[in-house]
Structure 1
């Protein structure tokens, strides 16, 4: 394909998954980041692509690195630090922007700071197009299709383990803001609550889950008319994350995925109706790559509903998007609808 895609933080753990997936699709890539040595090492794996050193504190280097790119993918967290300067560069260059942010404050800032500029520039700015944020947004949008008002969306995320990357730990240290949830159709500070048990079925099983809202609260609430959104994460995965001795993920297959399994179950209610959808797969970092690749494919082919700051649930046909994903990357159940008693 002739379209050039710039990947910032290309040598990071998730960035490498995205580079590999886009390369297989035939895209011409610009590999960029802050670390020259890591870029050179990555370039040995992909000698067909140019590498460009760029510093988020130096706008000129960003513009030079991304010049000629149709889309810029920001894989370098913490997004509280990297999103704003890279979006500014994308707007100057009239390029589209995608990132992987799970940070609520970062996503909220993008909507509040860049919505008008992006709309005027007819540019797409899509934050949180990843496992956290994007996938929950897609699933929630898909199951509430034809509902113009939703009472409640509950998102249950179960991991059999969480081996965090250095980037995840760095983001956690940087993200000290109060977590937000949606209640009475407005963003509110998360209130402490008791854990509950949730059956994720095989291979995750029954896990204790706790309320832990991430960027999907922001993305979903921006385009769905929903009164309440809750996100729950399995306690065992949080224990892994908080344990400084937990090792980083190790590849176990030909796709370099770790052995970790995940399950996301989304339950939406409206009046006496309940709809449920389940997504399962392997490796929360690796599964971000097919989400990003499908986002890129749809931008390039013009399958978008709007410009400006948006989400993958809003700007694309969510049902079609999910159906297009390879089952080896992620399996998505059919929507189950029942009446509440």
Structure 2
């Protein structure tokens, strides 16, 4: 098994490289800066290959012989499509760590036929927010049987964001541009259905904003649902106003090990069905960036070792949700589905 990692010298990319090395999986590190790639590969024995996203020929060559590609190089709306094209051309499965809702829909619209024809799986949004929220939503929908409305709320606290994450955030798309699934399609909408949300393990309600969360783009593809929207817990006034590139450039590349350990994230899902039936799902974890690396590496391992149907797939279409969540439980992620 050989996995190509593009964006391998970035903050999340280096965590993915470390996870591949920890699990003894062969990797090829791909990027434009040889010195940074050599630093990322230090002590692993991994091969490095130079390629740039605006040079399709170099990308195609970089992925040659790879069984799968992990893409950690955002912003994905600007940089993702050439990488997917190169992975498909190399007949390699593809996984990325995007959280960009609009981009996820574009991947389904653009690459479904090409991926199916090539016999490969393309699975976007395999990160701490996209993968677990898709899996728990599927399990909630499975328990509910019939779902009129599905709401996913995500709450990050006690941590910090990497420069790459901040650069990938488009405040207009993340907040006002958030999509809601309704009447068989996705569209922007007005006010959120909730102004506050009761998350597990806390007594008080938490203020929430409507937000362009990844599961809203993926879950309706495998859970029959009338309406679905996403909420983000906490205050994000700084992000809504936008952060100047110079300010982002002056920040640390990402949280240090202690900050990562302290960072907590919670996914809370509520499904409403006929007769007022309520089914809830909860996922809680720490170190979102570290868990993203674990999720992305396990995803490509399963695609290569176990196989998957070809095409662009939501996480729950590519993998058995309960099995994947049980795997994450071994890494300190807690989850449950309850009725009432």
Aligned mates of 1:15, 1:64 — CA distance in 2: 20
Contact 1:129–1:311 (8 Å) recurs in 2: no
Distance 1:252 1:57, change over 3 A: closer
Aligned mates of 1:11, 1:206 — CA distance in 2: 39
Q: Give the match for residue 86 of structure 2.
A: 89
Distance 1:277 1:119, change over 3 A: same
How far is the alpha carbon of 1:204 from its aligned partner?
9.2
Q: 1:282 aligns with which of 272, 286, 289?
A: 286
Q: Give the match for residue 187 of structure 2.
A: 188
Q: 2:96 aligns with which of 93, 96, 99?
A: 99
Distance 1:136 1:157, change over 3 A: same
Residue 70 (structure 2) pairs with residue 73 (structure 1): yes
Deviations 1:147-205 (A, max 9, x none): 55421111111122452211112112497583211123321213134862223244696
Contact 2:93–2:304 (8 Å) recurs in 1: no
1:17-28 equivalent positions in 2, closer than 5 A:
17-28=15-26
Please identify, of 208-217 and 161-170, the stretch whose mean Cα deviation from structure 2 is larger.
161-170
Q: Give the match for residue 126 of structure 1.
A: 123
**TM-score normalised by L of structure 2:** 0.89
How far is the alpha carbon of 1:95 from its aligned partner?
0.7
Residue 292 (structure 2) pairs with residue 292 (structure 1): no
**Local SS of the residue matching 1:233:** strand
Q: How many equivalent residue pairs?
A: 330
Deviations 1:257-309 (A, max 9, x none): 342111111111221322112111112222212211221222122153x2111
Q: Give the match for residue 313 of structure 1.
A: 316
Q: Give the match for residue 15 of structure 1.
A: 13
Aligned mates of 1:64, 1:120 — CA distance in 2: 20
Aligned mates of 1:327, 1:206 — CA distance in 2: 29
**1 or 2 for the larger relative contact order (CA 8 Å, sep ≥6)?**
2
Distance 1:94 1:257, change over 3 A: same
Superposed CA RMSD: 2.4
Q: Give the match for residue 331 of structure 1.
A: 334
Contact 2:16–2:293 (8 Å) recurs in 1: yes
Distance 1:204 1:39, change over 3 A: farther
**Local SS of the residue matching 1:301:** helix
How far is the alpha carbon of 1:213 from its aligned partner?
2.3
Distance 1:210 1:98, change over 3 A: same
Deviations 1:216-255 (A, max 9, x none): 111112222111111111133x2464585795543245xx
Contact 1:204–1:262 (8 Å) recurs in 2: no
1:115-194 equivalent positions in 2, closer than 5 A:
115-145=112-142, 149-173=146-170, 176=173, 178-193=177-192
Aligned mates of 1:52, 1:30 — CA distance in 2: 7
Distance 1:131 1:63, change over 3 A: same
Aligned mates of 2:228, 2:171 — CA distance in 1: 25
Distance 1:250 1:231, change over 3 A: same
Aligned mates of 2:198, 2:222 — CA distance in 1: 29
**Local SS of the residue matching 2:285:** strand
Bigger fraction of residues in helix: 2
Aligned mates of 1:193, 1:134 — CA distance in 2: 23
**TM-score normalised by L of structure 1:** 0.89
Aligned mates of 2:171, 2:238 — CA distance in 1: 18
Q: Which runs of 5+ in 1 are unaligned?
A: none
